[in-house]
Structure 1
Amino acid sequence: MDQHRQTPARRRRRTRAEQKLQTRNALIEAGLMNFSRDGYHGASLEEIADTAGFSKGAVYSNFGGKAELFLAVLDHNLSTLRGEDWDPLAPAGSTGADRAPLPAEVAGDRDRAEQLVRGFELATLEFITTAARDDTLVPALRIRIRTLLDAYERVASDHRAPDEALAGDEVAQLMAALEQGVSVLALSGVASVDGSLLRLGMRRLLGDSTGDTGRPGDTSLLPTVEQVQRLLDDSSVETDASE
């Protein structure tokens, strides 16, 4: 027997907390895919669990139901796509993050990413109309809207004109309203506003009339397709099918 033969390093066993977090993240990713495809009302918890590789019981072990799972997907999107370095005024592809390599499974599938963007926007509208009529969900909805407004207020503060008369939170509300209005126009199919025109409109709200008016044809909604593609990559986790 070779006494110099090395014993393989023992693989560290995941703690119960780590397993639970991985399961939760897998369900959030599956929720994003299923809500985008089937809508908020059309998506089923059974199919979401199956997509993630778990039983329906795993959903209820991590979330109180469909609404709580959808809120978790919203939270993940907000934290991933609207972080501290988010700048909706920057041209698409102008930052290092925008140039990050895309995962092989979605890098060449722009149609899939665009469908995901559109589908989740529609599901979010469904959820908002439902939550706004449910006194138990209104507080949670307001928290997420506040998070969105806070992200815009950071942008407004960074780009605020010296002679701007409106308060930062007022500018943030107008910027968010413009973005959401553009989304509704696009989702309805009535009209389409490309990304450069949307950025130009936001600059005008900030009192900046010097923004790019050439308006190259980047037509994706906010969040951009590239951001959603990265979201898919960032949220993918290794799941334990035995859980």
Structure 2
Amino acid sequence: MDRLPSTTAPRVRRSRAEQKQKTRDSLVAAGLMAFTRDGYHGATLDGIANEAGFSKGAVYSNFGGKAELFLAVMDYNLSVLRSDGWDPFALPSTNDADTPGATAGTPDEDVAEIVRGFGLATLEFITTAARDETLIHALRARVQVLLDAYGRVAATHRSAGECLAAEDVAQLMAALDQGASLLALSGVATIDGALMRSGLRRLLLDATNAANERSPSPDGHASPLPDVEQVRRLIRDMPGD
């Protein structure tokens, strides 16, 4: 009797490197959630490991400690800025079907709360790293990613009448970006996306386009890294079994 063909897909065995990367990605995702919920100081490696489904030893086999894990989460958030195609003036999609990771199980309010929670944890980390001779260098490297990204924008959109160096304009743009985030986190004020883009354009001496940016915009407010779409992407790509 002929054997019927199996309808079960063959199980693909991961290489050791692939398995290690999967474990690392799971810990980064769990770390984001834990830091968001409990803050940088409140989150524990035991809790993060348990949330990811691993032992604490798995954390130490991938990261040197909580600070290094937090830096890895920051690196994920900053990955979009490393691309030459990053555009702070691009209008976000208003179509849920076009939004990475948009699912019925992850309402916008929940994602926005994750963004806010991690922003507050980042402030905790900054105050810790600023007093640590080792961590301050790692923190500066991450800030430099933001400065480099705005530096590329400043160089590309440089006005003929600009007298400041692109690096100086980039610092001013980054300061506006992070200052807006701080205002949003403190609850003092909320800067919507249109106003943020208008301010950035004014720093590029582009007053005409800056005025056009003030038309009503549905894209919300400037928020600290990670942004909403970054969080949705992380939830979507969160490693499964």
Alignment TM-score, normalising by the size of structure 1: 0.88
Q: Once the 2 structures are TM-superposed, how far is the Cα of residue 54 of structure 1 from its aligned partner? A: 0.7
The alignment status of 1:233 with 2:236, answered yes or no, reads yes
Aligned length in residues: 235
Letter in 2 for 1:102: G
CA distance in 2, matches of 1:186, 1:225: 14
Letter in 1 for 2:25: N
The alignment status of 1:219 with 2:225, answered yes or no, reads no
SS at match of 2:207: coil
Q: Which runs of 5+ in 2 are unaligned?
A: none
Over aligned residue pairs, what C-alpha RMSD do you find? Answer: 2.3
- Out of 143, 154, 168, which is 1:145 matched to? 143
The corresponding residue for 1:16 is: 16
Q: Which runs of 5+ in 1 are unaligned?
A: none
Q: Once the 2 structures are TM-superposed, how far is the Cα of residue 178 of structure 1 from its aligned partner? A: 0.4
The answer on whether the counterparts of 2:196 and 2:222 sit within 8 Å (CA) in structure 1 is: no
Of 40-49 and 74-83, more deviation after overlay is shown by 74-83
The answer on whether the counterparts of 2:32 and 2:73 sit within 8 Å (CA) in structure 1 is: yes
How does 1:5-84 map onto structure 2 within 5 Å?
5-6=4-5, 10-80=10-80, 83-84=83-84
SS at match of 1:49: helix
Higher relative contact order, chain-length normalized (CA < 8 Å, sep 6+): 1
Q: Residue deviations 1:91-135, cap 9 Å, x none?
A: 2228x9x9345342545x011111011111111111111001000
CA distance in 1, matches of 2:9, 2:116: 47
Identity level (%): 58
Q: Once the 2 structures are TM-superposed, how far is the Cα of residue 186 of structure 1 from its aligned partner? A: 1.1
The answer on whether the counterparts of 2:39 and 2:120 sit within 8 Å (CA) in structure 1 is: yes
The answer on whether the counterparts of 2:77 and 2:230 sit within 8 Å (CA) in structure 1 is: no
CA distance in 2, matches of 1:20, 1:105: 31
The corresponding residue for 1:128 is: 126
The corresponding residue for 2:180 is: 182
The answer on whether the counterparts of 2:157 and 2:204 sit within 8 Å (CA) in structure 1 is: yes
The answer on whether the counterparts of 2:172 and 2:203 sit within 8 Å (CA) in structure 1 is: yes
The answer on whether the counterparts of 1:131 and 1:137 sit within 8 Å (CA) in structure 2 is: yes
